[in-house]
Structure 1
Amino acid sequence: MSYLVVAMIRLGVVGLAGIGVVAAALVVTAGVARRQRRFAVVDATWPLLFVLIAWASVVTGDGSTRSWLLAGLTTVWGGRLAWHLVGRLRGAGEDPRYAELLEDVPPERRFAVAVRKVFLTQGVVAWFVALPLMVAGTTDEPLGPIAALGTLVWLVGLLFEAIGDAQLKAFKADPTTRGTVMDRGLWAWTRHPNYFGDACVWWGLWLIAAEAWPGVLTVLSPVAMTYVLAFATGARLLERRMADRPGYPEYAERTSMFVPLPPKRP
């Protein structure tokens, strides 16, 4: 049997394992969402989907050093983000995104519609974005300088995301800042440091995978994640919700939307 055939079979096994763990996690999450009557719980599951895919790739792939590195980095990123989102969801109501999506749906059909438009969509997107993790699980080439660069980019992204979240949490907890717009720390350089950091994380993971063929072919995965974060359900959607808040137009005028840049002088 040729090397190409073996590689294709191995990639197929890893890909199916990824589908399996994503489906299982979303079925459990859908059950929790139905019991709580709140679909926002899927947000906490979102980063854990990548953690599950990464470790499924280690188990069903070659178990290479590259796949172990990717699984470890993904676990650190996904575990931190999931913990942060669980804390944000505690005591909160339905997310406005899902409330708006299901606003005109009869109550008896909301769960079915949410499964199709929220859970299934997120599962498909997560599997596609995680392609670098799965492809890396089928390669056994040693780590090199590009993997080191990817780890550095991942670290920059993780710090931007974690520090941005911590700064925003402290800002919201401060009663003296109530009614004002967060424009301090990283938020003075970009209006969405957490989303920018998330994008960097996935470009870093892709660089690690791209060092070994055919990981470079999965470049559309970080492109898709960046598009979702910057233009689809991430920054752009939040911008529309914040546009009417007092002080936000002025903040947006002087602060970069996504990529960190020095703030403009008023």
Structure 2
Amino acid sequence: MKTTVNAVINLHKILVSPIVLLMMLTYDNWSAPAFLYLGLHGTYTILWLFKQKLFPDKRFEQKLPVITGLMTPFLPLAGYYIAPYLLISEHTNVPVWVFGLAPAIYAMGIFLHYVGDAQKFFTLRIQKGLIEDGLFARTRNPNYLGEILIYGSFALVAWHWIPLVVLAFWVGYFFINMGKKDQSMSRHAGFASYKEKTNKLLPKLW
């Protein structure tokens, strides 16, 4: 029996809100930080599902056995459940400024992640090759930067060091993928010039 990478990732996203709500019920934690986490990660799930319907990532259409999908990518992705568990089970009180900073980081991440993916998807439908304008004018990976900011905001709300370790693992994985992407783009004319005026992740400001 086979599934797709896309289906496994979607399952992980869909389970976020029920799992967080179950944690809140189990630990009788209906605090403002718990609801803040639920609101941020829950809306990320909704937006992700819209994205996968409107401008899906072709890489995630790869088929694989169900057991393989459960071992990877589902099990590594489940590491993201650690943040709400720590926040809710420990009844963590977060500083008041987190309520301002975390949504700000999250909003910037959402913008970069989904706008970047949309620009890439619709541009490549019209013309293959390098994308050198819009969000890709200063960074070659605005979507990865956005995802890092999104999960960084979740780690901030959790107010614990372990979610940062989980995020660091995924950042390392993202950099491997970014390296592979650079190798793939290097076959296009003009890549050397494009690489010179951009950074791999953070936007090049000068």
**TM bucket, shorter chain:** 0.7 to 0.9
1:55-70 alignment to 2 at 5 Å?
A: 55-61=21-27, 62-70=29-37
Of 152, 155, 162 in structure 1, the residue corresponding to residue 104 of structure 2 is 152
Residue-pair matches, total: 204
In structure 2, the residue corresponding to 1:137 is in which secondary structure?
A: helix
Deviation per CA, 1:91-134: give whole Å up to 9, x if none: x6974xx47xxxxxxxxxx62xx623x43122221222331111
Unmatched 5+ stretches in structure 2:
none
1:148-187 alignment to 2 at 5 Å?
A: 148-173=100-125, 175=126, 178-187=127-136
Residue of structure 2 equivalent to 1:120? 71
Residue of structure 2 equivalent to 1:205? 154
Deviation at 1:82, TM superposition (A): 2.4
Of 152, 164, 177 in structure 2, the residue corresponding to residue 219 of structure 1 is 164
Unmatched 5+ stretches in structure 1:
1-29, 100-109
2:50 matched to 1:83? yes
Deviation at 1:188, TM superposition (A): 0.7
Name the CA distance, whole Å, in 1 between partners of 2:137 and 2:168: 25
Large movers: runs of 4+ above 4 Å: 92-95
Name the CA distance, whole Å, in 2 between partners of 1:147 and 1:154: 11
Higher Cα Rg, which structure: 1
The structure-2 alpha-carbon separation of the partners of 1:216 and 1:147, relative to structure 1 and needing over 3 Å to count, comes to farther
2:183 matched to 1:240? yes
1:10-21 alignment to 2 at 5 Å?
A: none
Q: Which deviates more from structure 2 when the two are superposed, residues 237-246 or residues 179-188? A: 237-246
Name the CA distance, whole Å, in 2 between partners of 1:93 and 1:252: 23
For the Cα contact (< 8 Å) 2:94–2:157, is it kept in 1? no
Name the CA distance, whole Å, in 1 between partners of 2:25 and 2:132: 44
TM-score normalized by structure 1?
Answer: 0.65
What code does the residue aligned with 1:137 have? I
RMSD: 2.8
For the Cα contact (< 8 Å) 2:5–2:73, is it kept in 1? no
Name the CA distance, whole Å, in 2 between partners of 1:166 and 1:78: 17
2:193 matched to 1:257? no
Name the CA distance, whole Å, in 1 between partners of 2:36 and 2:60: 36
Deviation per CA, 1:138-181: give whole Å up to 9, x if none: 215366113321221111111111221232233234x3xx1331
The structure-2 alpha-carbon separation of the partners of 1:129 and 1:155, relative to structure 1 and needing over 3 Å to count, comes to same
Name the CA distance, whole Å, in 2 between partners of 1:52 and 1:250: 47
Residue of structure 2 equivalent to 1:7? none
Identity among equivalent positions (%) equals 16
